[in-house]
Amino acid sequence: MLDDIRYIHCLNRSRIIQQHLNDCRDERRPYVFITDTMTLSTFNSQLSPSGATTLHSTLYTLNSILVPISMLEEEVYKSEICTYLARKTGAEILLLLANDYGTKAKQNLDKIITHIEKVKERTGEDIRYRVLQAKKNSFSLAKEAVERQSEWKNDLLILTASREYGLDDILFGPPERHAIARSRVPVMLINPRADLFSLCD
Q: pLDDT (tens digit, 9 = 90+) per residue, 119-151?
A: 999 999 999 999 999 999 999 999 999 999 989
In contact, 81 and 158? CB cutoff 8 Å: yes
Phi, psi (degrees; rounded to nearest 5) at 68: -65, 140
pTM of the model: 0.86
Q: What HEC string does 94-126 produce?
A: EEEECCCCCCHHHHHHHHHHHHHHHHHHHHCCC
Residue 201: what pLDDT?
47
- Quote the mean pLDDT of the chain: 84
Rounded CA-CA distance 189/176 in Å is 8
Q: What CA–CA distance (Å, rounded) separates 86 from 72?
A: 23
Give the pairing of strands 129-133 and 31-35: unpaired
Range of weakest confidence among 1-10, 37-46, 76-85:
37-46
User: For position 49, what pLDDT does the model report?
Assistant: 39
HSE toward the beta carbon, residue 114, CA cutoff 13 A? 8
| pLDDT, position 37 | 87
Q: Residue 156: is its pLDDT beyond 70?
A: yes
Phi, psi of 5, deg, nearest 5: -70, 140
- Calculate helix-pair angle for 175-182, 14-23, nearest 10 degrees: 130
Q: How far apart are CA 198 and CA 48, in angstroms?
A: 28
pLDDT tens string 170-201: 555 578 899 999 999 999 999 987 776 666 54
**How far is 89 from 182, CA to CA, in rounded Å?**
25
Q: How far apart are CA 64 and CA 10, in angstroms?
A: 23
